[in-house]
Amino acid sequence: MLLISAVIGIYYAFVGGGQKTSKDFLMAGRSMSALPVALSLTASFMSAVTVLGTPAEIYRYGAIFCIFAITYALVVLCSAEIFLPVFYKLGITSTYETLYTGIVIYAPALALNQVTGFDLWGAVVATGVVCTFYCTLGGLKAVVWTDVFQVGIMVAGFSSVIIRAVVVQEGIGHIVNDSYHGGRLNFWDFDPNPLQRHTFWTIVIGGTFTWTGIYGVNQSQVQRYIACKSRFHAKLSLYINLVGLWAILACATLCGLALYSIYKDCDPWTAKQVSALDQLMPYLVLDILHDFPGVPGLFVASAYSGTLSTVSSSINALAAVTVEDLIRPYFKSLSEKKLSWISMGMSLFYGGVCIAMAAVASLLGALLQGAFVGLVSGFVVSLWVGIGSQIYPPLPERTKPLYLSTAGCNISSGNLTSTEIPLTMIFSTPGAERPALADNWYSLSYLYFSTLGTLITVVVGIIISLLTGGLKQNTDRKFLLTKEDFLSNFSWSETEQPEKVEVLNWKPFTMADEGTDNPAFSHIEMDVASDKNKVNGLHI
């Protein structure tokens, strides 16, 4: 998998004359079609966190996570119809992803290392080096097409686990029946309490705000759909991607339910056979697929495909922001060829930084990771709630973890000293020093963090704007969502014309040829005979 990803990077370094300009390197020349971009968006969403974490989430808390299917539909609709038309006209965004990328490299490597014995730092370095290699050589085209390859690997890994689990449990009906009796099919919880971790409302409302921030304005996502050759292809890529998101969610849900069905009487986590929930999927793979040579390796490749797709997209996005926002505006004399080389250098630099951040992530606890991510997000209220929830985790009645049993574990096969672990033992008993804020403000569902931050930002921004006099200058229409942007949805079958760039709206008044020209007269107002009065090479 790593080799093929590297070969794709080499191919796009030379095909079509290579990356001649920074636009070729960072935006694929805005020539991509909808399908590969859609698969690339899906692959980046499906990180190793999804492969390892989502099934464990469903195993522990139930299939209410499936309500995210509604959230994804709302997110894609908002992104395609509100944000995309504006960003496609502008072609620029900004981002901040360095520390997150390091965590994405380190976390799956750690989980697989502890379960399979896979060399931790060998995996971290190999992942970072290969991502950096094909990003530096092939640019965005290499990122997109390696994502297409990697999403196939990810689906194959999920499918192998699902198929084998269905065979082991003698049919999917058995899995569903076990999940039903174990309380895992808890789809419809309409409790409006925002302190509950997952309900229909927290997932739909809070999840929509959270994921719109990723699909609507995040550089690594926006950069790819505005690299499409037309706005229609850009929108189509988002809607095709929605199908991919649903497929991923369905696969992760089935894996989570299969986990519960297989281990309903002997939970590996409470039995101390694994030390963290995100190790459950590798544990299951080694348990049910150990007789099939190469198939456990396919799952490992699936997890690392998720890492590669996320990291490569982030590296390319960081390089794009650096070149377009920090270098190009201040060094206008640089040629496109030089900017292309600088873009490659930035990819190389950020690849090294991401590997270093993986080392930093290995030294940080969960609290400091949450604090740094919140700090980078730049909003003090979200940071406050986030840190508070880490110091004082919500009580079980807020998170609603489902019952796990070890009654069926074989004591003689391991170091177990008991056959069943009560639910209350899994959580630390709240101490008397627990403050009042811990059970209300700090217990806010994590999905509402983005909602809270967004609403406060908008409300405070409006109030301060009104108090300081409001907007006093005209707003350029290219920054606005217009009626024409919406009406363009109904003319998708027509040949789409290139986006117009509004530079200067003037038109000379033409007069019939009569008499002799007066050299002191011009048909255009404000004509000044000076070389300094030019717009796009024309005297005005």
CATH 1.10.443.10 assigned to domain 2-363+396-429? The reply is no
Domain residue ranges of the chain, discontinuous segments joined by +:
2-363+396-429
What are 535's strand-pairing partners?
538
Q: What is the pLDDT of residue 475?
A: 63
Q: What is the largest CA-CA distance in the chain?
A: 112
How far is the CA of 271 from the CAs of 282, 401, 440, in angstroms? Answer: 16, 17, 32
Query: What is the DSSP secondary-structure string of 141-177?
Result: HHHHHHHHHHHHHHHHHHHHHHHHHHHHTTSHHHHHH
Looking from the CA of 148 toward its CB, the CA atoms found within 13 Å total 16
Under 8 Å between Cβ of 81 and 225: no
Q: What is the pLDDT of residue 439?
A: 61
Q: Is the pLDDT of residue 336 over 50?
A: yes
Q: Is the pLDDT of residue 52 over 50?
A: yes
Closest CA to 142 of 19, 239, 241: 19
pTM value?
A: 0.72
Higher local confidence (pLDDT), 173 or 464 = 173
Alpha-carbon distance of 182 to 191, in angstroms, equals 21
Closest CA to 9 of 125, 115, 145: 145
Give pLDDT tens digits for 92-107.
Answer: 544 444 456 666 777 6
Alpha-carbon distance of 408 to 420, in angstroms, equals 8
Task: Report the number of secondary-structure helices (H) and strands (E) in the chain.
Answer: 21, 2
Alpha-carbon distance of 43 to 236, in angstroms, equals 16
Q: Is the pLDDT of residue 398 over 70?
A: no
Looking from the CA of 42 toward its CB, the CA atoms found within 13 Å total 28
Looking from the CA of 40 toward its CB, the CA atoms found within 13 Å total 29
Closest CA to 259 of 378, 106, 404: 404
Report the chain's mean pLDDT, rounded to a whole number.
73
Q: Is the pLDDT of residue 432 over 50?
A: no
Considering only 17-26, 223-232, 455-464, 496-505, which range has the smallest mean pLDDT?
A: 496-505
Q: What is the pLDDT of residue 95?
A: 40
Q: Average pLDDT for residues 4-11, to the nearest whole number?
A: 80
First to last CA, the chain: 59
How far is the CA of 289 from the CAs of 44, 286, 301, in angstroms? Answer: 27, 6, 15
Neighbours of 148 (CB within 10 A): 18
- Give Cβ neighbours of residue 83 (< 8 Å, ≥ 6 apart): 212, 215, 216, 217, 222
Q: Is the pLDDT of residue 402 over 50?
A: yes
Confidence band for 166, pLDDT divided at 50, 70 and 90: very high
Q: Phi and psi dihedrals of 467, rounded to 5?
A: -70, -25
Q: Average pLDDT for residues 30-40, to the nearest whole number?
A: 84
Q: What is the pLDDT of residue 179?
A: 92
Give pLDDT tens digits for 272-320.
Answer: 888 888 889 889 998 999 888 888 888 888 887 777 777 877 787 778 7
Higher local confidence (pLDDT), 414 or 490 = 490
Structure tokens at 465: 């704007």
Under 8 Å between Cβ of 85 and 231: yes
Confidence band for 227, pLDDT divided at 50, 70 and 90: confident
Q: Is the pLDDT of residue 378 over 50?
A: no
Q: Is the pLDDT of residue 373 over 60?
A: no
Q: Is the pLDDT of residue 517 over 60?
A: no
Confidence band for 322, pLDDT divided at 50, 70 and 90: confident
* Share above pLDDT 70 across residues of the chain, in percent, rounded to a whole number: 65
Indicate the helix (H) or strand (E) that contains 224: helix 219-225
Considering only 149-153, 185-189, 190-194, 505-509, which range has the smallest mean pLDDT?
A: 505-509
Considering only 185-189, 409-413, 475-479, which range has the smallest mean pLDDT?
A: 409-413
Considering only 181-190, 233-242, 254-263, 319-328, which range has the smallest mean pLDDT?
A: 319-328
Structure tokens at 528: 């000044």
What are 539's strand-pairing partners?
534
Q: Is the pLDDT of residue 183 over 80?
A: yes
Indicate the helix (H) or strand (E) that contains 538: strand 538-539
Q: Is the pLDDT of residue 171 over 80?
A: yes
Confidence band for 19, pLDDT divided at 50, 70 and 90: low
Structure tokens at 67: 């309500």
